[in-house]
A = this chain, B = another copy of it.
Amino acid sequence: MSTKAPLPPTGTRDFLPDAVRRRRHVQGIISRCFERHGYEPLETPAMERLEVLLGKYGEEGDKLLFKVLHRGDKLKRVLENSPVQESELTELGLRYDLTVPLARVAANYPEQLTRVFKRYQIQPVWRADRPAKGRFREFFQCDVDILGSLEILAELDIFAAIGEIMAELGLGDFELHINHRKWLSGLLSSLAVPASEHATVLGVLDKLDKVGPQAVLEELREKNVSEALREQMPGLFESFLAGRPQPEAFASRVADQAGGPEAIGQLQTVLAWDGPRGGRIVWNPLLARGLDYYTGLIYELRIPPWPSSFGGGGRYDNLIGMFSARPVPAVGFSFGLERVLDALEERGQFPAFEGHARAVAGVLDPAVIPWALDAVSSLRAQGLSVDLFPEITAVGKLMKWVDRKKIKYVLFMGSNEMETGTVSWKDLQTGESGTVPLSEISSILR
């Protein structure tokens, strides 16, 4: 690329036609599946008031918000101050995720939404993160959530949809790793870890299946975590890593802890189900997931042997109500859309010719324009997708253009053709060509 024209902003991308087609292929499968399952589409504005966004994503998140500058007289008045405060310069920001906007929507339209509300949302979000491979400043999230249900059936409903989507994408060999926040906090409490240290300890334990027991124990020692925990951990690690652990084997450990029996019961219910189409459900007893706000079952979508996650989610019963007077229980899942696209690319699983026209028509002579337009129009009316090269063309120029497109047939329309009511055609894959009456060309193109 040798150009002096300004590029798109750092961390953002232009999607040229083939990239858009690939993205739409994936988004289409996801949307159609969620619709089929009764999830309803929601879209919210790119900008939100800062009071909606600030303080919801932790200190780090606040720093990553893109904020929108005041304009006109309002800005002018602010700039006359000295010193100028950042908070006076802006009252809007770009959305950072799709969960906080959902919480606002739930509070804004209590009458229009059903008490139990199943929605999905595929839109870009913006974060001023340091750009890196696979990390962008504008990227798409694809969230599905059920508001208003306290029951595990809500999680299972989402799992069923995930299974269908993955199968339809050709990624049916997935694993859904599940765990439960109340099991984790029961486990840590049984090991005498004070609640204030749970988050730190979970952050370390979460790495068990990536870095192994030795590294985890070492990090726990560095972090000065309670000795009781470190003594019992090797035994627990062994039982967690041996074969497929079942929650009932650990029920007695958390029987007296708040939420412990409930967590074990829910894990059992999920594992008792055969699981979503294609994939399998695996209990991962130390899976923790990063976000603070989860309160129940949590889950992560993986495809071995890829190490990264293809999406994740959990139950978060205290977040959606933040703008309302009443609490609203919620479960959600977020697809890693960019990751899914990468995986399909790596496996070469995008469909061929997706979205491209079946044929390109070239008009060889200005005198035949109206006839050629009508001929092409009649082919399109028969459901055929026909591109028109928008210049009066010579055959060579047309072939050069077609060469850059994924097209099977070329049609030539000149004065000979008009006079005889025919179309000349060439099949670029087989090299065949011919001239047939206009009425017969559609059967060749099919």
Q: Residues of A at under 8 Å CB distance from B?
A: 1, 3, 5-9, 12-17, 20-21, 23-24, 35-38, 40-49, 51-52, 63-69, 71-72, 75, 79-80, 82-86, 89-90, 92, 94, 104-105, 107-116, 118-119, 124, 126, 128, 138, 146, 149-151, 153-154, 156-157, 160, 164, 269, 272-274, 277, 323-324, 355, 357, 360, 363, 369-370, 373-374, 376-377, 380-381, 385-392, 401, 404-405
Contact = CB atoms under 8 A, between A and B. Distances in A.
Contact of A38 (B94, B119, B369, B387): B387
* Interface SS of chain A: mixed
Nearest to A167: B381
Contacts of A374: 274
B107 A151 contact: no
B114 A380 contact: no
A379 to B, nearest CB: 10
A269 B71 contact: no
A68 B8 CA distance: 14
Contacts of A114: 401, 404-405
B323 A16 contact: no
A104 B6 contact: yes
B104 A44 contact: no
Given A86-B79, A154-B390, A156-B373, A36 B68 contact: no
Given A323-B5, A377-B277, A153 B391 contact: yes
Nearest to A363: B153
B86 A389 contact: no
Point out which of A17, A90, A392 has the most chain B C-beta atoms below 10 A from its C-beta: A17
B69 A43 contact: no
A181 to B, nearest CB: 19
A45 B82 contact: no
A310 to B, nearest CB: 21
9 contacts: A3-B323, A5-B324, A8-B108, A9-B92, A14-B42, A35-B355, A35-B385, A46-B138, A66-B71
Contact of A71 (B63, B386, B390, B405): B63
Point out which of A46, A90, A149 has the most chain B C-beta atoms below 10 A from its C-beta: A46
A148 to B, nearest CB: 8
Contacts of A20: 40-43
A222 to B, nearest CB: 30
Nearest to A407: B38
Nearest to A65: B71
Contacts of A83: 79-80, 82
Given A1-B111, A68-B69, A370-B273, A355 B17 contact: no
Contact of A67 (B69, B94, B138, B405): B69
A42 to B, nearest CB: 6
Nearest to A2: B110
A21 B46 contact: no
Nearest to A20: B41
B36 A5 contact: no
Pairs A-B, 3 closest by C-beta atoms: A38-B387, A5-B107, A12-B45
A37 B357 contact: yes
Point out which of A38, A82, A156 has the most chain B C-beta atoms below 10 A from its C-beta: A38
A48 B8 contact: yes
